[in-house]
């Protein structure tokens, strides 16, 4: 089955977002756990959650991906920012444990001048604090473009974080197509080679989700600007190869393209039409 969806707001609840993704032709979606630029979480609404779960099982929606707020930075030089990251992790995981097999995606962080090694150490420390043995949620590290002091611009950096976390069975990776291309992984001309490299360094079994985006910026630019499918430097053909690649085709794909609902609907339809039968 082709698992395809886009980023949606849950400001009006999970059930509303579930109905929206059905209208847009998708069967999964990504949402922010809380205001992406802030910190306050929505109060938990058990009634909405129960109605959503019932609707999702009837319609066949599965594999929601929760995205941590951009303000979560586990490797900031500012200790208060790192404390905020701890708090958000703990409270988001508590919310996600309501779901049977939740996926929680976060940006590894920006070391803000401390250097990659110090940054990785701080990310590992926080992950080791917030992950507990009974946790059912899988935490995904997102591949980053490498702007500024971003960590996660290379497969090696992600592999090092994973290797130092005690409960590494709770960790996975979300590959963002715009970000990896900007980071210098040529998924347009050498998708097989990039996936072989991913497998050798991280292990393809860790790959749990794809952020499917075109890019406004050139290859290896370390810039992070998403474009609509077919309107950027990756191009439609490369994106169609990605959704049909034997090693990727069973993963969930989430569009984070600059679109309103109508644009997402058109992209989902385009991708479904180009999905190999």
Residues in touch with Zn ion (CB under 5 A): 224
Instruction: Tell the smallest beta-carbon distance from residue 195 to Zn ion (Å).
Output: 20
Among the listed residues 150, 157, 176, 224, the single contact to Fe ion using CB under 5 A: 176
Cβ closer to Fe ion: 176 or 267? 176
Nearest distance from C-beta of residue 131 to Fe ion, angstroms: 20
Which of 211, 234, 240, 257 contacts Fe ion by CB under 5 A?
211
Question: Among 90, 106, 185, which Cα is nearest to 140's?
Answer: 106
List Cα–Cα distances, 22 to 14, 26, 44, 221, in angstroms: 12, 6, 23, 36
Angle, helices 79-96/116-130, rounded to nearest 10 degrees: 40
Separation between Cα atoms, residue 27 and residue 22, nearest integer Å: 6
Q: Which partner from the list Fe ion, Zn ion, none does 211 bind, CB cut-off 5 to 8 Å by kind?
A: Fe ion
Residues with Cβ within 8 Å of residue 233, at least 6 apart in sequence? 181, 188, 214, 215, 216, 217, 218, 219, 227
Please report the beta strands in the chain, taking only residues with DSSP state E, as ranges in sequence order: 4-7, 28-32, 65-67, 103-106, 109-110, 138-142, 150-151, 171-176, 207-212, 214-215, 226-227, 253-255
Q: Taking CB under 5 A as the rule, does residue 153 contact Fe ion?
A: no
Return the one option of Fe ion, Zn ion, none that residue 92 interacts with (CB less than 5 to 8 A, by type). none
Least Å distance, CB 258 to Zn ion, is 11
34 binds, among Fe ion, Zn ion, none (CB under 5 to 8 A by kind): none
Structure tokens at 271: 């991708």
The region, left, alpha or beta by phi > 0 then psi within -120 to 50, assigned to residue 201 is alpha
Q: Which residue, 19 or 225, is less far from Fe ion as judged by CB? A: 225
Closest residue to Zn ion using C-beta atoms: 224
| Interface region with Fe ion, contact rule CB under 5 A, candidates 22-30, 33-41, 71-79, 204-212 | 204-212
Q: Which does 224 bind (CB under 5 to 8 A by kind): Fe ion, Zn ion, none?
A: Zn ion
Listed ranges 55-63, 139-147, 158-166, 202-210: which one lies at the site for Fe ion (CB under 5 A): 139-147
- Distance in Å, CB of 105 to Zn ion, minimum: 11
Q: CB–CB of 178/235 below 8 Å?
A: no
Residues that bind Fe ion (CB under 5 A): 142, 176, 211
């Amino acid at each position: 089955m082709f698992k395809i969806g886009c980023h949606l707001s849950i400001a009006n609840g999970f059930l509303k977002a579930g109905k929206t993704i059905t209208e847009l032709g998708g069967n999964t979606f990504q949402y922010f756990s809380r205001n992406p630029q802030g910190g306050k979480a929505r109060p938990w609404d058990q009634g909405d959650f129960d109605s959503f779960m019932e609707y999702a099982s009837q319609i066949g929606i599965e594999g929601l991906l929760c995205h941590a707020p951009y303000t979560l930075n586990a490797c900031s030089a500012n200790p208060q920012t790192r404390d905020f990251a701890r708090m958000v992790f703990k409270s988001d995981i508590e919310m996600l444990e309501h779901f049977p097999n939740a996926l929680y995606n976060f940006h590894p962080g920006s070391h803000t001048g401390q250097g990659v090694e110090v940054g990785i150490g701080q990310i590992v420390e926080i992950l080791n604090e917030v992950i507990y043995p009974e946790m059912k949620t899988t935490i995904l590290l997102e591949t980053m473009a490498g702007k500024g002091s971003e960590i996660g611009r290379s497969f090696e950096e992600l592999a090092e974080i994973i290797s130092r976390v005690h409960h590494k069975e709770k960790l996975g990776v979300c590959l963002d197509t715009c970000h990896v291309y900007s980071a210098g992984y040529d998924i347009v001309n050498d998708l097989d080679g990039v996936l072989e490299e991913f497998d050798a360094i991280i292990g393809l079994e860790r790959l749990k989700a794809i952020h499917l985006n075109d890019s406004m910026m050139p290859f290896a630019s370390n810039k992070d600007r998403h474009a609509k499918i077919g309107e950027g430097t990756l191009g439609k053909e490369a994106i169609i190869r990605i959704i049909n690649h034997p090693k990727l085709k069973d993963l969930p794909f989430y569009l984070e393209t600059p679109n309103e609902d109508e644009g997402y609907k058109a992209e989902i339809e385009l991708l479904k039409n180009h999905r190999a039968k």
